[in-house]
């Protein structure tokens, strides 16, 4: 596998004068469920670490724990994820190595089911921003796999993020979800991080999908593909088992677009 990866082009990232990447937090978020957030987060985290060469942390903020599953990290009987937010527990104590070089996971567990209410009650509105800033010395990219909610967790995500990736399967409901995300960002972040809509699960055999593509020709797109579904069976990102597939190419192009957005933002 390593041999194949070396033949892939290296994607340059935003770098500082010493040649190391400046850190960035990237949220994969929508208020809508089942739109491909976790699949995108795990695949993009792999591109960040394997192809851009960034030290990368995938932080699972959804109690369902899908990100760890997609990276093949076995769950542990632990209920400490919430303590990172509410008891100032050091997140480094929970971070796990993934099977992939430079890619670590901060797993979710059942304790964060009620995180929204707990965060709201303790009133620490910038807790997640502080935590991600604190990890920036060790990780050049932190990717947040978000739950499909609109509450204190998503408000904190918006404040912590340098870019927000919003997967949208072509449907009127997804378009509405996108409008809600745009509004939420405007309400919760003074810095207005760039929002990058991504047409996800795009199936050009379907009329609605073709129309959505035509209406948004500049948006990155991820096709509906059985290889992408296979990530959950193989517990690996597509790039790790089918690096030359069209699906892998789409994730690579999306990752490049995200790095470009980050560079533009930094001017
Ligand atoms: N491009 C794709 N092609 C085919 N299947 C996909 C694609 N993207 C995601 N899927 C499948 O769709 C389902 C939902 O994906 P995923 O879990 O990534 O969505 P999610 O937005 O994280 O969901 P939730 O809101 O429940 O966290 C999964 O079974 C996944 O394998
Ligand atoms: Mg998910």
What are the boundaries of each domain within the chain?
A: 21-266
Tell me how many degrees the CA angle 248-251-254 measures, rounded to the nearest 5.
150
Q: Which atom of ligand 1 is nearest the CA belonging to 64? A: 27
Q: Does the beta carbon of 5 lie inside 6 Å of ligand 1?
A: no
- Tell the residue nearest (CA) to atom 23 of ligand 1: 34
Q: How far is the CA of 121 from the centre of ligand 1 (A)?
A: 32
Q: Does the beta carbon of 145 lie inside 6 Å of ligand 1?
A: no
How far CA 145 is from CA of 62, 92, 123, 261, 264, in Å, comes to 7, 18, 22, 19, 23
Q: Which atom of ligand 1 is nearest the CA belonging to 229? A: 31
Work out the number of other CB atoms within 10 angstroms of the CB of residue 153: 23
pLDDT band at 105 (very low <50, low <70, confident <90, very high): very high
Report pLDDT for 2: 35
CB 185 within 8 A of CB 195: yes
pLDDT band at 21 (very low <50, low <70, confident <90, very high): low
Asked if pLDDT for residue 211 goes beyond 80, the answer is: yes
The predicted model scores a pTM of 0.92
pLDDT band at 22 (very low <50, low <70, confident <90, very high): confident
User: Chain-wide mean pLDDT for the chain?
Assistant: 90
202 alpha carbon, closest ligand: 1
DSSP SS3 for 190: coil
pLDDT band at 13 (very low <50, low <70, confident <90, very high): very low
Asked if pLDDT for residue 8 goes beyond 50, the answer is: no
Return d(Cα 127, Cα 85) in angstroms, integer: 7
Question: Could you read off the pLDDT of 212-239 as tens digits, one per residue?
Answer: 999 999 999 999 999 999 999 999 999 9
Asked if pLDDT for residue 12 goes beyond 80, the answer is: no
Secondary element (H or E) of residue 60: strand 56-60
Q: How far is the CA of 63 from the centre of ligand 2 (A)?
A: 9
CB 47 within 8 A of CB 251: yes
pLDDT band at 9 (very low <50, low <70, confident <90, very high): very low
The stretch 164-192 carries a mean pLDDT of 90
pLDDT band at 11 (very low <50, low <70, confident <90, very high): very low
Q: How far is the CA of 204 from the centre of ligand 1 (A)?
A: 18
Q: Does the beta carbon of 202 lie inside 6 Å of ligand 1?
A: no
Q: How far is the CA of 165 from the centre of ligand 1 (A)?
A: 15
Using a pLDDT cut of 90, give the percent of the chain over it: 79
Question: Could you read off the pLDDT of 39-69 as tens digits, one per residue?
Answer: 999 999 999 999 999 999 999 999 999 999 9
Report pLDDT for 173: 86
Judged on CB neighbours under 10 Å (0-12, 13-18, 19+), 224 is middle
The two structure tokens encoding residue 12: 């340059």
Q: Does the beta carbon of 62 lie inside 6 Å of ligand 1?
A: yes
Return d(Cα 267, Cα 262) in angstroms, integer: 9
Q: How far is the CA of 190 from the centre of ligand 2 (A)?
A: 27
Listed in sequence order, the DSSP H helices in the chain are 2-6, 37-46, 66-70, 83-86, 115-122, 127-135, 152-160, 172-188, 207-215, 226-234, 238-241, 246-266
Return d(Cα 203, Cα 224) in angstroms, integer: 5
Q: How far is the CA of 206 from the centre of ligand 1 (A)?
A: 18
Q: Does domain 21-266 match CATH 3.30.360.10?
A: no
Q: Does the beta carbon of 42 lie inside 6 Å of ligand 1?
A: no
CB 210 within 8 A of CB 204: yes
- Tell the residue nearest (CA) to atom 16 of ligand 1: 36
Asked if pLDDT for residue 10 goes beyond 80, the answer is: no
φ, ψ at 74 (rounded to 5°): -65, 135
Q: How far is the CA of 20 from the centre of ligand 2 (A)?
A: 30
The stretch 3-20 carries a mean pLDDT of 43
DSSP SS3 for 87: coil
CB 149 within 8 A of CB 37: no
Q: Does the beta carbon of 161 lie inside 6 Å of ligand 1?
A: no
Report pLDDT for 265: 85
pLDDT band at 77 (very low <50, low <70, confident <90, very high): confident
Asked if pLDDT for residue 164 goes beyond 60, the answer is: yes
User: DSSP label at 84?
Assistant: H
Q: Does the beta carbon of 264 lie inside 6 Å of ligand 1?
A: no
Return d(Cα 126, Cα 156) in angstroms, integer: 6
The stretch 127-138 carries a mean pLDDT of 96
CB 157 within 8 A of CB 29: yes
Judged on CB neighbours under 10 Å (0-12, 13-18, 19+), 121 is exposed
């Amino acid at each position: 596998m390593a041999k194949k990866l070396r033949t892939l082009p290296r994607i340059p990232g935003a770098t500082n004068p010493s040649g190391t990447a400046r850190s960035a937090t990237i949220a994969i978020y929508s208020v809508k469920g089942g739109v491909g957030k976790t699949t995108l987060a795990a695949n993009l985290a792999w591109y960040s670490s394997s192809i851009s060469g960034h030290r990368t942390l995938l932080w699972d903020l959804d109690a369902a724990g899908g990100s760890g599953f997609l990276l093949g990290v076995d769950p542990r009987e632990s209920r400490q994820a919430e303590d990172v937010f509410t008891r100032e527990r050091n997140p480094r104590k929970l971070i796990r190595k993934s099977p992939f070089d430079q890619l670590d996971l901060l797993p979710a567990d059942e304790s964060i089911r009620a995180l929204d209410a707990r965060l709201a009650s303790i009133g620490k509105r910038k807790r997640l921003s502080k935590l991600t800033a604190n990890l920036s010395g060790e990780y050049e990219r932190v990717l947040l796999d978000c739950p499909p909610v609109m509450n204190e967790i998503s408000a904190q995500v918006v404040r912590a993020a340098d870019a927000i990736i919003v997967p949208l399967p072509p449907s009127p409901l997804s378009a509405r979800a996108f409008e809600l995300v745009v509004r939420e960002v405007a309400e919760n972040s003074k810095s207005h991080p760039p929002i990058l809509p991504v047409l996800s699960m795009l199936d050009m055999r379907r009329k609605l999908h073709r129309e959505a593509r035509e209406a948004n020709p500049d948006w990155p797109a991820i096709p509906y593909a059985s290889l992408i579904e296979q990530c959950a069976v193989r517990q690996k990102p597509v790039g790790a088992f089918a690096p030359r597939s069209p699906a892998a190419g789409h994730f690579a192009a999306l990752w490049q677009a995200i790095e470009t957005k980050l560079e533009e933002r930094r001017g």
